[in-house]
Amino acid sequence: MLTTMPELSNGADADAVNSLRSAVMRLSRRLKHQRVDESLSPTEMSVLGTLARCGRATPGELARKEHVQPPSMTRIVAMLEAKGLVRLEAHPEDRRQKVVTQTEQAEAMLEESRRKRNTWLAELAAGLDAEEWAKVRAAAPVLEKLAQL
């Protein structure tokens, strides 16, 4: 069931949207600082995360998923390949294209990164009371849905 869009002229809805935007941005910035490998840009980490979630993909598919231009994705993939984090393979149906696959090194690095970020976030959450933590747990699937739209 779809609900109506929050009314931005309504003080409560406008405040909630503003607060959500601000909190998500601040939390995102802080999470980005919890990196395992400082040599990777946030965009490179995001591409590796997309490959981990979605599996192998062409550079064009990655560009669409990451909301970047194809030439930019070509450069990102080349940098990741040079670092040994992805490999390019022949496309099974189109010889003109390549498919990007993450390496075991990338998988291990992503796992360590998730562990570090989860630990950091769990330490923050330890400062919440039971009611606040229950609200965060309930909000998590909703925030995930917003991130996928």
pLDDT, position 3: 61
pLDDT, position 32: 80
- 8 A C-beta contact, residue 92 and residue 134: no
Q: Quick one: which of 33, 11, 13, 15 has its CA closest to 23?
A: 15
Give mean pLDDT in consecutive 10-residue pieces for the chain, a chain of 149 residues.
63 85 90 79 90 93 94 95 94 86 94 91 93 93 86
pLDDT, position 91: 82
- In the block, which residue shows the tokens 């630990």? 119
Sequence-ordered list of residues with C-beta below 8 angstroms from that of 89, at least 6 positions apart, any chain: 56, 98, 99, 101
pLDDT, position 90: 86
Fold type of domain 34-148: Arc Repressor Mutant, subunit A (1.10.10)
- 8 A C-beta contact, residue 50 and residue 83: no
> What are the domain boundaries of the chain?
34-148
